[in-house]
Structure 1
Amino acid sequence: MKLRTRLTLWYGGAFFAAGAVLIAVVYLIVRDRIAQNLPDFGASTDEILAVRSQLGVDEQELLSFIQMAVDRQEAANDATLRAVLIWSVAALVVVGLLAVVLGFLMASRVLRPIDAITDTAKRVADRSLHERINLKGPGDELKRLADTFDGMLGRLDRAFEGQRRFVANASHELKTPLAINRTLLEVAAAEPGADHRIRDLAANLLAVNERHERLIDGLLTLAGSEQAPADPAPVDLADVVAHVAAQFAAEADAAGVTVETEAAEAVVVGDAALLERLVSNLIANGIRHNHSGGTLRVATGTADRRARLTVANTGPVVAAYEIDALFQPFRRGEGRDRIESVRGVGLGLSIVDSVTRVHEADLAAVSEPEGGLLVTVVFPEPA
């Protein structure tokens, strides 16, 4: 039950309880006052005889007349009490229903700042740390809560911005010496007097240097994928899959992996570069963690107006408890670091996870019984 409904029920219940107590008190007061105002017909015999002699009526007739007057007065009093009770209850019901409606409106009014805080928190969860509530009004509890939340967002924004700036600056600074190393190694290997040992050493160092460059590029992409798309636009995943699959055709042939694509229209609103990197990393992962003669199936489509990307590959069996670790940086299956693998730098699936979260997509990965992994990415409906 929503808080607005609970507040309305509490307000309505309190109103009905207070109204019931008020009706009971009024009823008792009216009954007491009526009982006190009844005429006292318990006169003495001498008084009755004096009245009888003055009126010239029989004593029995006088007593009967007095009793009839008392009965009629009591009946009138009872009718008055019943009317007071009935009309009071009816008024309580009518006014109580109006009070419930008023309570709902009041609860909506009171909870409106909380709705604003919730909406901002949802946008912040999508990496929009620049959002602020900026709640206007008196400095009450809700205003202080909103200001505290804004302050927390400001500190988080500065912290994340500093982290992204550090990664970008560090990666940029590391690229320069790696580029110099690559140039020096290529020049040394190309010297006419270089023997085979120098050329072999240069080739090995160039491979290590290239791997470090890929690692830095991956870190830059991972840092960039943590930010929401600045200018989202419609992107057809079918076109992206066709383009990326063509790029990996040579690598798939060399690895003996058959790539099967089923690219149906699947439009996503987001960043084209990040979506291309997502598809590229999934296809690369499906080829490099496969076996000769294996297959890689890539499919796109739309179900319930939600774009869907599915990548399934054969390969070694992956334990269910290891799947979550695959999407962590520098991790691979079989309980080893992916940093040890010559096939990648261990950031591919981490970037996939980050891109899906930025695009508010649902990412699911399950291990195939015969071996390999089935990865499904379901994107939200386009606005």
Structure 2
Amino acid sequence: MKRRTVRVRLTAVYSGLFLVTSVTVLAITNLLLKLKLEKRFTNLRFNLIGSAAAPSTTAAPTPGPTSGSVPSDSSGIGYLPDTVLGYQWSIAGVTIAVLTVVSIVVGWWLAGRLLRPVHQITATARRLSLSNLTDRIALAGPRDELSELADTFDSMLDRLQRSADSQRRFIANAAHELRTPLAIQRTAIEIGLDDPSPERLARVREELLEVNRRSERLIDSLLILAQGDNGLETREQVRLDILVRRVIGETPAGGVQIRRQLEPVTVDGDPVLLHRLAANLLHNAIRYNQPGGVADINVEPTTGLTVRNTGPDVPDDRVGELFEPFRRLHPERTGSADSTGLGLSIVAAIARAHDATITAVPNPGGGLAVTVRFPTQTDGLWPGGADLLSRS
């Protein structure tokens, strides 16, 4: 069975509404006309019969019509209302039939015109694929619901294209980062074990262990990044100031002065991911700092978590790149064994999972200030908050 298209249904609706409206209007008009004609012609028959009987003054009186009776009419004028109404109904029927055909044709054309943007959207969607996200609808015309739908579809395609491009870059960069330690391991095995000696074996062993640790850190970072992008399954209340205090105690300062201002703040989220978020921010502030520099970390109810350092100058147009996977401010750090280029991208993913807003601005004297504000952050302790203190 062939399905009915939207155009057919719209045409049927247009024609049906027109037909019902026309028949109703004509029926009411003819009914009112019938009542009016019957009343007028009844009065006219009485007047004609009365005029014909008035000159016969000497004739014997004839009995008048009884109450509610209608005088007899031999002139045929009583059939005139039925004749008029019959002719009216005939003309109305022909008019309705002709206008019904016209309404079907006009409704079909109008439905096609209204659905033309929908067909354009459908054709664009059929041409799209993961490797071809460049087409856009770019619907022209008045600002209505269909143009809004087309603009929304184009915006969605822009986001999909950015996401696909980012995914391709991420895959390429991840493949490069994973291939580098494998190449180092292969070289160490092929060259280092070519002429094995106790000293060379010990050196190769240390090199292989370091490469293995780097690969493990990279894989762990990728897993955390994926977990942050997938969102949170469960949430619990976390004292952000206590968590940050623990992170500071676990992170080596490396010659950088760490200054802190921690006020009681409670947020809803995953304590493990929040710990990684704070640790990455602090580690980044220490790693990309100047000798004898300062790293400030603040927790406040109004601003959330803020980490700033006194590192090198960061151009305004490069700030957004730092939160993309495998993107570093200085190209020379690409080959660093201690950095995977995922620190701030993991921070951004964890912030998205917690529905938090993250902003980063360059400091006037160099360095970066990163602020993470959570939507449910509150000040003060909550019942049972001491349990987290004991677990920390």
TM, length-normalised to structure 2 = 0.48
Q: Which structure shows the higher helix fraction?
A: 1
* TM-score of the aligned structures, taking structure 1 as reference length: 0.49
